[in-house]
Amino acid sequence: MKKLSFAILFVVCLTLLVFPKQTDLTVLSYWSPNDVWGQEFEKILEDYEKNSPNINTSHVYLPRDQLATRVLTQALTKSLPDIVFADNPYVPQWIQAEVFLDITDLVEKWDEWDDYYEGFQKAVTYDGRIYGLYFTTNNIALFYNKDIFDELGIKEAPKTWEELLITCEIIQKNKNKKNIYPIGFSAWNDEEAVWQFEPFLWSNGGSLLELDKPEAIEALELWTNLVKHQYAPRDVLNWSQNDVTHQFCNQNIAMLIVGPWQIPVIREAGINFEIAPIPIPSGASHAVVPMGGEVFGIASSIKKEKIETAWDFLTYLVSPEVMANFGLKGGRIPTRKSAEAIALSGEPLFKVFIDQAQYSVFRPLAGGYEKYPEISFITRTAIQQALTLSISPQEAFEEASVKIRNLFDSEEEYKQALLQAREAITFE
């Protein structure tokens, strides 16, 4: 019997050596397997498996419009995928809903944390604790049709608001017969409208929590003047960022505000274009732009024996080469300094966005944190009202400001959020 028991034990040990225990890792995203981002993401999972033969990964795809509801429900039932994915505005709410595992101790042992720009560190930090790693990012800049500029003798892109208006006037006077509008942007009833407005607001020192102040009203006046003088069509009220890019590709507009993900689309359309920073008010030193992109974290419900594997995957995912190459495929820029050279070698037009990224703002920090979705809704409603020219920018934003302040339970809570917002948009 002893010999038989020893033989069985020997076979078991040999089996474990030859066929080590497999670990299954489920990874969530809203990148569809049918689009470029989803396909590239699944290649990352395949490559990770090749380097980690004892790990099986599976991609859990949820459409963007289902993600928040499903994740919050799964957090309650402790049935989350092992690696959780969030569009960055969701991060505050999900930290408070205990979707993410606190990974502070793991990050403190990791010697690559300081390779992130400070803004991307702040975006995943709450009360001094870290809950995720930022993958790739984006922001928005000014694209312009180089052929139109050359034809009209416009030597460079406008750098200031004043130069923007002058450039628009030149294009309108010379291109009006061809129905070419000088500029287009997205102001439809969606977060995209606020995302596109924020660089003008923040670069002027304005805040989403102080829309009744001159700095905010002046930014909205710039946008309404673009529509009032027909430098931008009223259709911006209905245009998504994809729509406005389509208009640029069809040469119906000479300039547009959009992000790096549209570079391949515009290039494929055969447009001779260049990219410049967002125009800023006179006296400002740089544009302050919103921070796009997604965050990955370990689920709070993960089994303890999987945490080490999940952390290994996260650090692989955000490695400079993986991060930069994914961005090159999908028009996104790195969040880590060491990945920038790789990205720029593949796409020199990323430079404007990379330069602006060091002045990018995590939207919830500048907009009431977990209240940001409500504040964004109130803001975009006011933007739309002003762009219809039915009420003045001042009236629209004064009404919006009252609604935003009423979201807070106390004056003290509002003041704390306001201080946080001011700090978020201030760069030395």
CB 213 within 8 A of CB 226: no
pLDDT attached to residue 175: 78
C-alpha 24/C-alpha 97 separation (Å) is: 25
pLDDT attached to residue 15: 42
CA dist list (Å): 82 to 28, 111, 294, 376: 8, 24, 16, 30
Per-residue pLDDT of the chain (428 residues; tens, 9 = 90+): 545 455 444 444 444 444 456 899 999 999 999 998 999 999 999 999 999 989 999 999 999 889 999 999 999 999 999 999 999 989 998 999 999 999 999 999 999 999 998 889 999 999 999 999 999 999 999 999 999 999 999 999 999 999 999 999 999 999 766 789 999 999 999 999 999 999 999 999 999 999 999 999 999 999 999 999 999 999 999 999 999 999 999 999 999 999 999 999 999 999 999 999 999 999 999 999 999 999 999 999 999 999 999 999 999 999 999 999 999 998 999 999 999 999 999 999 999 999 999 999 999 999 999 899 999 999 999 999 999 999 999 999 999 999 999 999 999 999 999 999 999 998 86
CA 405 to chain centre: 26
pLDDT attached to residue 16: 41
CA dist list (Å): 54 to 23, 175, 315: 6, 62, 17
Q: Residue 199 has which token pair?
A: 């660089």
3-class SS string, 148-175: HHHHCCCCCCCCEHHHHHHHHHHHHHHH
pLDDT attached to residue 5: 52
Alpha-helical segments (H) within 334-371: 340-346, 351-357
Q: Name the burial class of residue 54, with classes exposed (0-12), middle (13-18) and buried (19+) by CB atoms within 10 angstroms of its CB.
A: exposed
Is the pTM value of this prediction over 0.75? yes
CB 253 within 8 A of CB 148: no
Q: What domains sit in the chain, N to C, each tagged with a CATH number?
A: 21-131+294-331 (3.40.190.10), 141-290+368-424 (3.40.190.10)
Contact partners, residue 45, CB within 8 Å, separation at least 6: 27, 57, 58, 59
Other beta carbons within 10 angstroms of residue 176's beta carbon come to 12
C-alpha 45/C-alpha 140 separation (Å) is: 29
Which helix (H) or strand (E) segment holds residue 120: the answer is helix 118-122
